[in-house]
Amino acid sequence: MVLLSIALLCFQSSLLARPLYLDEAPPELRSARHLLLAYKGARIPPTGQSRTREQAEELGIELLRRAHAGEDFLQLAREYSDSPNAKEGGVLGTFAPGMLEPHLDEFLFAATTGAVSDMIETPAGWTILQRIETEAGVLQIQIDVKDPGGRGASPCARCAQVVGKLSSGGDFAELAKEFSDDAESRARGGQFAIYERGPRDKLLKSAAFELSIGEVSQPIRSPLGYHILKRVAPGPSIRSCARTRWVRLRAILVQYDLAQGADMAHAPDQKKARQIADALAVRLHAGEDMLEVAAEFNDDPGGKKRRGDLGWIHRGAPNITPMLQQAALLPIGQIGDPLLTPFGYLLVRRER
């Protein structure tokens, strides 16, 4: 499947975040779907697959010819792929540079949207990759199952009224202000979200990516009620609806002898490591500069040279650890208390 790259420069090595994105701005994100042709004898062996490597390669060549001739890659993936999510179109998700196995990464960050790769051999089998759109801007009109506005009409009747007005050329933003029960998006003329591709997109998110720019969906039922969506370009006017996906973190790691990656001969025991972490926390909360403290004491490889900088962390990355997920929720500038992790005790501050 997808292998995470760990080929990093030594000064960028880290137990906590791999790879590291240390530039001033977050890196570009790109998304992909794949068509996987498994075969017997692959390094990640498929279940019940009798196809040989050569047979899988021959089928891949034929499918690649059909894709280049204009057949819909999504339908080919649904019909032929051995990926567990083939029926949903084989979406791998969204990635920053260096997160994918090198050959997949090289294609994805050189390809235009819609482009299809040559066959790439991976541990799970032959893979054909397609670059797909990463974001979908969405307007919505939400009709609650209950009637918070006291309008009296049933939810289905109100949906039918909205659909009728849209079919007659009604303005989506004006109808959202008139009919939507979601107060926040109603005030913005229906501006609701910018969705980012994931490997298991469901309900509204999945429906949004199936729409073309400007296309309006039929009512979609969710636990909140009914949603009528309009896909729009994710331009500046809707950017305020985008969820913050990138955060920048700084961390100090205090390892103990039995922690992952620790030097057992020189690391203190867990009790002593906790005492060290608590003492560092006291210094930081008293106002000492975290950059200087991290340059003095940090057991994360390369951490002293980076003065604790972990760079940009993408909250949806498949390799993000629970401890960094938790740290990403900190208010900007706040330092968390020492956190016990598999690598040792961690002090984290959210920078941006």
Q: Looking at this protein, which amino acid is placed at residue 18?
A: R
Residues 141 and 236 in one domain: yes
Residues 218 and 280 in one domain: no
Q: How far apart are CA 139 and CA 187, in angstroms?
A: 12
- Picking from 221, 241, 261, the residue at the C-terminal end of a domain is 241
β-partners of residue 227 are 142, 220
Q: What percent of the chain has pLDDT over 70?
A: 94
Q: How far apart are CA 256 and CA 253, in angstroms?
A: 10
Residues 14 and 119 in one domain: yes
3 state SS of 18: coil
Q: How far apart are CA 104 and CA 95, in angstroms?
A: 11
Residue 238 burial by Cβ neighbours in a 10 Å radius (0-12, 13-18, 19+): buried
Name, in order, each residue with C-beta under 8 angstroms of 201's C-beta and a sequence gap of 6 or more.
Answer: 88, 91, 195, 209
pLDDT tens digits for range 193-223: 999 998 888 999 999 999 999 999 999 999 9
Residue 6 has pLDDT above 50, yes or no: no
Token pair listed for 61: 């060549």
Query: Would residue 5 count as lying in a domain?
Result: no
Query: Would residue 88 count as lying in a domain?
Result: yes
Residues 127 and 35 in one domain: yes
Classify the C-alpha dihedral 201-103-132-196 as positive or negative. positive
Contact between 331 and 350 under an 8 Å Cβ cutoff? The reply is yes
DSSP-assigned letter for residue 116:
B
Query: Would residue 1 count as lying in a domain?
Result: no
Res 1: pLDDT: 38
Res 345: pLDDT: 96
Residue 4 has pLDDT above 50, yes or no: no
Residues 14 and 39 in one domain: yes
Q: How far apart are CA 123 and CA 284, in angstroms?
A: 45
Residues 48 and 111 in one domain: yes
Query: Would residue 263 count as lying in a domain?
Result: yes
Query: Would residue 296 count as lying in a domain?
Result: yes
- Picking from 209, 241, 273, the residue at the C-terminal end of a domain is 241
Mean pLDDT of 305-327: 86
Q: How far apart are CA 117 and CA 119, in angstroms?
A: 6
pLDDT band at 147 (very low <50, low <70, confident <90, very high): low
| Phi/psi of residue 8, nearest 5 degrees | -110, 155
pLDDT tens digits for range 30-80: 999 999 999 998 888 777 788 999 999 999 999 999 999 999 999 999 999
Mean pLDDT of 264-274: 94
Residues 14 and 113 in one domain: yes
Query: Would residue 227 count as lying in a domain?
Result: yes
Mean pLDDT of 289-303: 94
221 HSE (CA, 13 A, CB side): 3
Residues 280 and 191 in one domain: no
Residue 276 has pLDDT above 90, yes or no: yes
Token pair listed for 250: 């700084």
Contact between 115 and 131 under an 8 Å Cβ cutoff? The reply is yes
Total count of domains within the chain:
3
Q: What percent of the chain has pLDDT over 90?
A: 70
Contact between 319 and 16 under an 8 Å Cβ cutoff? The reply is no
CATH number at residue 199: 3.10.50.40
Name the average pLDDT for the chain: 90
Mean pLDDT of 272-294: 96
Token pair listed for 15: 């137990």
Residues 139 and 84 in one domain: no
- Picking from 241, 266, 287, the residue at the C-terminal end of a domain is 241
Query: Would residue 4 count as lying in a domain?
Result: no
Residues 299 and 277 in one domain: yes
**pTM, to two decimals:** 0.79
Residues 281 and 312 in one domain: yes
Which domain does 317 fall in, by range? 246-350
Q: How far apart are CA 178 and CA 74, in angstroms?
A: 37
Q: Where is mean pLDDT largest: 17-21, 129-133, 239-243? A: 129-133
Res 245: pLDDT: 87
Residue 9 has pLDDT above 50, yes or no: no
Task: Report the first-to-last Cα separation within the chain, whole angstroms.
Answer: 32
Residues 53 and 125 in one domain: yes
Contact between 206 and 196 under an 8 Å Cβ cutoff? The reply is no
Query: Would residue 2 count as lying in a domain?
Result: no
